[in-house]
Amino acid sequence: MGIVGRKRSAAGFSALLLLLPIFLITFLGRFQVVSGLSDTKYRQVSSLRLERIKGHLDKINKPAVLTIESPDGDTIDCVHKRKQPALDHPLLKNHKIQRHPSEMPKVKKDRVGDDDDDDDDKEAVRDAWQMWHRNGTTCPKGTVPIRRSTVGDVLRAKSLLHFGKKQPRLSLTTSNDPPYIGMNMHEHAVAYTRKSTRVVLGAKATINVWSPSVQLDTEFSLSQIWIASGYPSGFNLNTIEAGWQPQVELYGDCLTRLFIYWTADSYGATGCYNLLCAGFVQTNSMIAIGGAFSPSSYLGMQYELTIFIWKNWWIRIGDIDVGYWPAELFSCSRDHAAWAEWGGEVLNRRANGQHTFTQMGSGHFPYEKFQKASYFRNIEIVNVNNILSRAKDLKTKARNSRCYKIKISNNIPWGTYFYYGGPGNDFNVGLVILNRCPGS
């Protein structure tokens, strides 16, 4: 190359250097660095996406009367009950908040045969209580506690549309299966009402709270009560759900948390977890939906959670009426449901083509029993006559009994009860105590 060619190349390179800052300013100006995110893949977000996320958060994070910083890292906003997200729902624009349930089921006491001696120790059992109460601060009367959502919470979801929602499911069930058994990638160990029940007006149980190990951020392990109507294989499945779960993708940590869920269209456009969309009306200032619990320990203290859901559809945690799902939200469950289920569920992503290591319940099989395995006890149902009584003739099923099992029984102190759960694909659980937390 001659001297002239070298001069032209040098001149062109110099021009590129002069244009480079302009290019960087133009291109990188479309992105912002989001602080407070531990995972680098979330740190750079387009300005347009960030603007949309913040707009959504403004809708669900309502102005607070008081803000409480929880020891577990949560921010709890005490929001005036008339400003809560529920009332943004189009069907609830003129909704008058109920202060108390309009009607309570009648209670029928059953004595059951003691066909299984359970060695539970009352001294080893306590009611679960949420961590945000530990500093002694509570929300004022007339407000409701709402766990504040962050940009990081939304960015962990597949998209803004998916934030706070379960995936729509393809039903693979047969006519003899309960509605949730066989759902795509979802594995269960559950007890459920028979088809002959037909009308369900409520369900209740006491569950011990654990902190199961979850293999992937995008998997979860939960224990809950389902009340449902409609057709699982169609688009009108209505569910009301409540229980406990650790879910890294939703909360950003492995803490075990109280959750609720609802859908009126088979997990399609309607419904969400907790208060992440309009719908559920909270009425009490003591319990934060999405708040964390202290879990039970193996051979140690057992922390329990009693959940009661009944028409129209109120939820009680322990002895506290937390709030309700207005009947207007539902298409098939406005005045009654068709069945109820109790038990555990795991989302199995089959990483590397193998069954997940995610645990259900305590991560131990039912035969280990009290202080070792997870349980539902005093399982009750509200029948067509609005009477709460022991649930009888329940059926059980575990889709993959090699990994998760269930064993049902009854006795006098626990009524109808079952132990359930398992280690997933990890059969060293009895030898090695697992504590994997993918989000940490």
Residue reference for tokens 């066989």: 182
Burial environment of residue 48 by CB neighbours within 10 A (0 to 12, 13 to 18, 19 or more):
exposed
- Residues 78, 145: contact at Cβ < 8 Å? yes
Task: Give the Cα separation of 252 and 36 in Å (integer).
Answer: 12
- Residues 152, 36: contact at Cβ < 8 Å? yes
Active site residue 219: no
Backbone angles phi, psi at 16, to 5 degrees: -65, -40
User: Of 219, 249, 341, 345, which is the active-site residue?
Assistant: 345
Which of 355, 331, 343 is CA-nearest to residue 239? 331
Task: Give the Cα separation of 33 and 192 in Å (integer).
Answer: 48
Strand-pairing partners, residue 305, are: 207
Question: What count of other Cβ atoms lies within 10 Å of the Cβ of residue 82?
Answer: 10
Which of 198, 201, 172, 200 is CA-nearest to residue 185? 172
Which of 312, 303, 305, 293 is CA-nearest to residue 243? 305
- Residues 121, 59: contact at Cβ < 8 Å? no
**Tokens coding 403:** 């990994």
Active site residue 249: no
- Residues 65, 140: contact at Cβ < 8 Å? yes
User: Of 241, 249, 341, 380, which is the active-site residue?
Assistant: 241
Catalytic residue list:
241, 345
